[in-house]
């Protein structure tokens, strides 16, 4: 979990900055369009679309933007046709990197992603080279307060249907099956817990310890640049960086 946790926490803080640049809306709009194209515009019959709409609302995306993106996906209005691809590669220190990409030009995007990997000490790999190291899971983080008991939250989460629970200093990380995510989130919400994140994501089955400061800096820079790429919807990695080293590294 630590690899996912470290990058997830960085992304969570970074998302606030991205929102100012409009990048969050662009990424969500693309996800809405792709989800509607694949599963139709009926929210109740399309779980992926329902999750994308929820994410859009959490980001305060205007309803007009949401509706327009969905209609582009269903073909009600003209729009760009996106192709979904998974890219895989290795970052500095041999860290596995997996990306969800949505593009209207596969050749252009592949060349750009390959260049970013090469520039920052990694290399883009063949299909299947690292995907086996990740598993799709529901992921929830609960903010801890001084009054909260981590073990109590752990028991409640398991009773709600969680698969695993990890208690950190100021957060509790919960994993579920993708299908159980909404159910567990709703039950935790109903019991008054403060949920800062809830999503279906890819969690590494094992992690690589990064101890070299130079490798750590290059790795986090690579991850940041991949996340900033217009065609990359999500980027995942299986690194673990010690907190002391993390403090020395600035993005």
Averages of pLDDT over runs of 10 residues in the chain (251 residues) are 54 53 81 92 89 88 92 88 93 95 94 95 94 92 76 83 84 88 88 84 90 90 90 91 75 49
Segment holding 188, helix H or strand E: helix 181-190
Provide the number of structural domains found in the chain: 3
- CATH number of the domain at 220, please: 3.30.70.980
Reported for 99-105, long-range contacts at CB under 8 A and 24+ positions apart, including other chains, are 99/226, 99/232, 99/233, 99/234, 99/235, 99/236, 100/232, 100/233, 100/234, 100/235, 101/231, 101/232, 101/233, 102/30, 102/31, 102/34, 102/231, 102/233, 103/231, 104/80
Domain boundary among 74, 91, 110: 74
Nearest to 198 by CA among 223, 171, 227, 237: 171
| Residues 87 and 174 occupy one common structural domain | no
pLDDT digits (tens, 9 = 90+) for 108-119: 999 999 999 999
| Whether 210 contacts 91, CB under 8 Å | no
Residue range of the domain that includes 92: 83-132+206-248
Could you report the per-residue pLDDT of 4-35, keeping only the tens digit for each? 555 555 555 555 455 555 678 888 999 999 99
Residues 142 and 173 occupy one common structural domain? yes
């Amino acid at each position: 979990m630590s690899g996912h946790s470290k990058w997830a926490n960085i992304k969570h803080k970074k998302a606030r900055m991205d929102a100012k640049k409009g990048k969050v809306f662009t990424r969500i709009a693309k996800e809405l369009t792709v989800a509607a194209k694949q599963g139709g515009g009926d929210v109740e019959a399309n779980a992926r679309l329902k999750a994308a709409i929820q994410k859009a609302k959490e980001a305060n995306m205007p309803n007009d933007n949401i509706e327009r993106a969905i209609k582009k996906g269903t073909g009600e209005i003209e729009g760009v046709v996106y192709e979904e691809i998974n890219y895989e590669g290795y970052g500095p220190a041999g860290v596995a990197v997996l990306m969800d990409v949505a593009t209207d030009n596969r050749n252009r995007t592949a060349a750009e992603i390959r260049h970013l990997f090469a520039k920052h000490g990694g290399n883009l790999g063949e299909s299947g080279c690292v995907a086996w190291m990740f598993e799709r899971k529901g992921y929830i983080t609960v903010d801890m307060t001084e009054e909260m008991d981590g073990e109590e939250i752990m028991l409640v989460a398991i009773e709600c249907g969680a698969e695993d629970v990890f208690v950190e200093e100021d957060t509790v990380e919960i994993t579920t099956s993708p299908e159980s995510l909404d159910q567990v989130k709703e039950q935790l919400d109903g019991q008054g817990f403060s949920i800062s994140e809830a999503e279906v994501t890819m969690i590494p089955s094992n992690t690589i310890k990064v101890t070299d400061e130079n490798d750590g800096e290059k790795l986090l820079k690579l991850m940041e640049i991949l996340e900033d790429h217009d065609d990359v919807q999500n980027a995942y990695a299986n690194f673990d960086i010690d907190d002391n080293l993390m403090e020395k590294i600035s993005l």
